[in-house]
Structure 1
Amino acid sequence: MDAEVLGIRELGLIDYQTAWQAMQRFTNQRGPQTGDELWLLQHPPVFTQGQAGKAEHVLFPGDIPVVQVDRGGQVTYHGPGQLVCYLLIDVRRRGIGVRALVSHIEQSLVDLLASYGVAALAKPDAPGVYVDGAKIASLGLRIRNGRSFHGLALNVDMDLEPFRRINPCGYAGLAMTQLRDLIGPVDFSEVVGRLRTQLARHLGYAQQKTLAGGIENI
């Protein structure tokens, strides 16, 4: 696939471990000409603990599994109604540094939320996107051999209760919010479309292309 084309897979609800293992395979096996991809999906309930994560930030997980993963950052929660986007990008080929990649992702989210009339901002000392001090989107990336994987999670229309079972991103008492609570009922598929458009634009791709098929055989 042309390096200026961003391939996009809309995958629906997928088990976390399945997606994580597929990301690792894709990143390990890709070559210099492998096209970049975004994977847009949701996960069943799961807590994921990043490489810098500390056990004391997992307060009372209950029946929700906790998975230790290879992304940056601390503990977070994924569940249905949260839009997860994994960015499988050859950042070395695109000439994007890690800080610039994070900024592009954050600005994509800020502009997406602005399109719904929601004023959001990023914080230089705490990656993610916030609305009136409450976190609406989290970021956690891993770069291996100049290629990124993992990505972002945007709270759209979900049960926020599990966030109270952890210190989100390592911050005790951090308030979490979601798009539904800010604007009322929201069309999840429309949010998916707006996010993919914003990311393709901010990351500088000439074109985005929907890819058929799942990730099980990647």
Structure 2
Amino acid sequence: MNHQLSVVRTGQLDYLEAWDLQKRMARARRADLIPNTVLLTEHPPTYTIGRRGSRSNLLIDQLALEQAGATCYEVDRGGDITFHGPGQLVVYLIIDLGRAERGLRRFVGNLEATVIETLDSYGVTGRPAEGKPGVWVNGKKIAAVGISVSRRVTYHGFALNVNPDLTYFDYMIPCGIPGSAATSIEREIGQPVDMNEVGDRIVERLAHHFDVEAIEGPTVDELSRELAMTDASLTP
């Protein structure tokens, strides 16, 4: 089961629904009931604040947030504040890290390499920045990385700006770093990019870096039904 990566393409999914799904999947993965899995999704406009974050890094109040059609949640991933919305590819990974030394560091490095190589395939040069999480292009953030690990199994993952409305990033301090700005593949190359194509390229690079075979997994509805059959027997 560890030699395959199941790919689940959800389409646009409510953030809280996706978060709950990940936690249920992580429990099932710890019990070896499902394979290592990647979820490819998009969310309605949503700000999330990680364990190191502060709501003060959201620059608009609740009324303005509602007028922008967005929501905000405090969540259990690493990192500070980030934005998710249409046109951004969000990649959640339910992966058993095993017992390899420095497994978490290697895991995060694989995620960053996946993003950088995918960007390179579009002629965009992305780089990590010392002291700043994620992947950056000419000083502007193009991908956020934030994960959680529970009993060796990861959830959360990374978000890559493909064709999002970058206006939403003006309403926050990205990663809690004043003066930071956001960019996207569309902004960098001057034209929109097919989200499914980006997803395929992401999966190909993930499979390469984790040395696994990527296989098409169930639909999100099929996955939910499968998890419902196992939830009662699993501990949180």
TM-score by length of 2: 0.87
Partner of 2:200: 193
Letter paired with 1:17: L
Question: Aligned with 2:125: secondary structure?
Answer: coil
1:87, distance to aligned residue in structure 2 (A): 0.6
Structure 2: runs of 5 or more not aligned: 228-236
Name the stretch that deviates more: 145-154 or 56-65: 56-65
8 Å CA contact retained: 1:127, 1:139: yes
Q: 2:78 aligns with which of 63, 72, 75?
A: 72
8 Å CA contact retained: 2:39, 2:92: yes
Determine the C-alpha separation between the residues in 1 that align with 2:114 and 2:131. Answer: 18
Structure 1: runs of 5 or more not aligned: none
1:71, distance to aligned residue in structure 2 (A): 0.4
Name the stretch that deviates more: 172-181 or 92-101: 92-101
Name the stretch that deviates more: 58-67 or 177-186: 58-67
Determine the C-alpha separation between the residues in 2 that align with 1:94 and 1:200. Answer: 18
Partner of 1:60: 60
Partner of 1:181: 187
Determine the C-alpha separation between the residues in 2 that align with 1:200 and 1:182. Answer: 26
Determine the C-alpha separation between the residues in 1 that align with 2:7 and 2:17. Answer: 18
Percent identity, aligned pairs only, is 36
RMSD across aligned positions (CA): 1.5
Partner of 1:133: 139
Letter paired with 2:49: Q
Question: Aligned with 1:52: secondary structure?
Answer: coil
Q: 1:114 aligns with which of 112, 115, 120?
A: 120
8 Å CA contact retained: 1:18, 1:216: no
1:33, distance to aligned residue in structure 2 (A): 5.8
Letter paired with 2:181: A
TM-score by length of 1: 0.94
Determine the C-alpha separation between the residues in 1 that align with 2:211 and 2:36. Answer: 12
Q: Does 1:3 align with 2:2?
A: yes
What does the per-residue CA deviation read over 1:14-40, in whole Å, with 9 as the maximum and x for residues that have no partner?
Answer: 000000001111112331463100000
- Of the two, which has the highest radius of gyration? 2
1:213, distance to aligned residue in structure 2 (A): 1.9
Runs of 4+ that moved beyond 3 A: 93-96
Determine the C-alpha separation between the residues in 2 that align with 1:114 and 1:155. Answer: 14
